[in-house]
A and B are shown apart, each in its own frame.
Chain A
Amino acid sequence: MIALLIRDFRLAMRAGGGFGLGLAFFLIVVTLVPFGVGPQSTLLATIAPGILWLGALLACLLSLDRIFALDWEDGSLDLLATSPLPMEALVTIKALAHWLTTGLPLVLAAPVFALLLNMPTEGYRPLIISLLLGTPALSVIGTFGAALTVGLKRGGLLLSLLVLPLYVPTLIFGAEMARRGAEGFDTTTPLLMLAGITCGTIALLPFASAAVLRVNLR
Chain B
Amino acid sequence: MNLNALWEYANPKKFIQTTDRVLPWVAGLAALSLVFGLIWGFFFTPEDYRQGSTVKIIYLHVPSALMAINAWMMMLVTSLVWIVRRHHVSALAARAAAPVGMVMTVIALITGAIWGQPMWGTWWAWDPRLTSFLILFLFYLGYIALWEAIENDDTAADLTSILCLVGSVFALLSRYAVNFWNQGLHQGASLSLDKEENVADVFWYPLLVCIAGFALLFIALVLLRTRTEIRARRMRVLLARERMGA
Per the CB under 8 Å rule, do A and B touch in the complex? Answer: yes
Partner of B139, one of A165, A169, A197: A165
- Please determine whether A216 and B155 come into contact, CB atoms closer than 8 angstroms: yes
A168 interface residue (CB < 8 Å to B): yes
| In the bound complex, CA of A190 to CA of B176 (Å) | 12
A-B contact pairs, 10 of them (CB 8 A): A151-B155, A158-B142, A158-B145, A158-B149, A162-B163, A165-B135, A168-B173, A168-B177, A211-B162, A215-B159
**Contact between A172 and B178, CB atoms less than 8 A apart:** yes
Flag whether B150 is at the interface (Cβ < 8 A).
yes
- Stretch touching chain A among B63-71, B110-118, B164-172: B164-172
A218 within 8 A of B: yes
Asked if A193 contacts B177 (CB within 8 A), the reply is: yes
Contact indicator B177/A169 (Cβ below 8 Å):
yes
Q: A148-B163, A165-B138, A173-B180 are in contact. List 7 more A-B contacts (CB 8 A).
A: A152-B150, A161-B138, A165-B174, A197-B173, A211-B162, A212-B162, A215-B155
Q: Is the CB of B142 within 8 A of A162?
A: yes
Residues of A within 8 A of B237 (CB): none
Q: Main secondary structure on chain A at its contact with chain B? A: helix
Against A, the Cβ 8 Å flags (1 = close, 0 = not) of B126-170 are: 000000000100110110011001100001001100110111001
**Those of A141-168 within 8 Å (CB) of chain B:** 144, 148-149, 151-152, 154-155, 158, 161-162, 164-166, 168
A165 touches B166 (CB 8 A): no
B binding-site residues for A, Cβ under 8 Å: 135, 138-139, 141-142, 145-146, 149-150, 155, 158-159, 162-163, 165-167, 170-171, 173-174, 176-178, 180-181
| Cα–Cα distance between A190 and B146 once the two chains are bound (Å) | 32
Considering residues A144, A148, A151, A189, which has the most beta carbons from chain B within 10 angstroms of its beta carbon? A148
Q: How large is the interface on A (under 10, 10 to 19, 20 to 34, 35 or more residues)?
A: 20 to 34
Q: How far is the CA of A159 from the CA of B59 in the complex (A)?
A: 37
Question: Which A residues are within 8 Å of any B CB, using their own CB?
Answer: 144, 148-149, 151-152, 154-155, 158, 161-162, 164-166, 168-169, 172-173, 176, 189-190, 193, 197, 205, 208, 211-212, 215-216, 218
**Contacts of A165 on B, CB cut-off 8 Å?**
135, 138-139, 142, 167, 170-171, 174
- Residues of A contacting B145 with CB < 8 Å? 158, 161-162
Instruction: Enumerate chain A residues within 8 angstroms of B174, measured Cβ to Cβ.
Output: 165, 168-169, 172
